[in-house]
Amino acid sequence: MTAPMTRAEKARRTRQRILDAAAGLFTERGWAGTTVEDIARTAEVGVQTVYFTFGNKRAVLKELLDTVIAGDFDPVATLERPWAREVIDAPDPAVQLSLQAAGARRILQRAAPVLEVVRGAAGADPEVAALWQTNQEQRHTVQLRFAEALTAKTGGALRDGHDAASAADIAVTVLGPETFRLLVAGRGWTPDRWERWAADALVRQLLP
Same domain, 97 and 64: no
Cα–Cα nearest to 146, from 97, 82, 195: 97
Of 32, 48, 75, which marks where a domain is finished? Answer: 75
Domain boundary residue, one of 36, 51, 75 = 75
Mean pLDDT along residues 89-95? 98
Eight-class DSSP state of 51: H
Best CA proximity match to 139, nearest among 69, 205, 81, 71: 69
- How do residues 13-26 score in pLDDT, each as one tens digit? 999 999 999 999 99
pLDDT digits (tens, 9 = 90+) for 119-148: 999 999 999 999 999 999 999 999 999 999
Question: Is residue 69 pLDDT above 60, yes or no?
Answer: yes
Q: Are residues 52 and 114 in the same domain?
A: no
CATH code of 68's domain: 1.10.10.60
Domain C-terminal end among 59, 75, 91:
75
Gap between the Cα atoms of 132 and 127, Å rounded:
9
Tell me: pLDDT of 59 over 60. yes
Query: Do 101 and 163 sit in the same domain of this protein?
Result: yes
* Buried b / exposed e along 112-128 (16+ C-beta atoms within 10 A): bbbbbbbbebbeebeeb
How confident is the model over 140-164, as a mean pLDDT? 96
Let me know whether 89 and 34 are in one domain.
no
130 and 30 in a common domain: no
Task: Evaluate if residue 102 carries a pLDDT over 80.
Answer: yes
Statement to judge: residues 69 and 165 lie in one domain: no
Interatomic CA distance for residues 59 and 173, integer angstroms? 27
- Share of residues in the chain with pLDDT > 70 (%): 99
Of 145, 153, 133, which is closest to residue 207 (Cα–Cα)?
Answer: 153
Residue 155 Ramachandran class (φ > 0 left, ψ -120 to 50 alpha, else beta): left
**Residue predicted with more confidence, 29 or 5:** 29
Does this model's pTM top 0.95? no
Domain co-membership, 175 together with 90? yes
Same domain (yes/no): 106, 187? yes
70 and 123 in a common domain: no
Residues 47-64 have a mean pLDDT of 96
The answer to whether the CB of 19 falls within 8 A of the CB of 60 is yes
Question: How many domains, the chain?
Answer: 2
- The CA-to-CA distance between both ends of the chain, in Å, stands at 63
Print the domain residue range for 21.
1-75
| 4 shares its domain with 107 | no
* Domain identity same for 138 and 39: no
Residue 80 has pLDDT above 90, yes or no: yes
Name the pLDDT band for 4 (thresholds 50, 70, 90). Answer: confident
Q: What is the pLDDT of residue 52?
A: 96
Do 174 and 192 reside in the same domain of the chain? yes
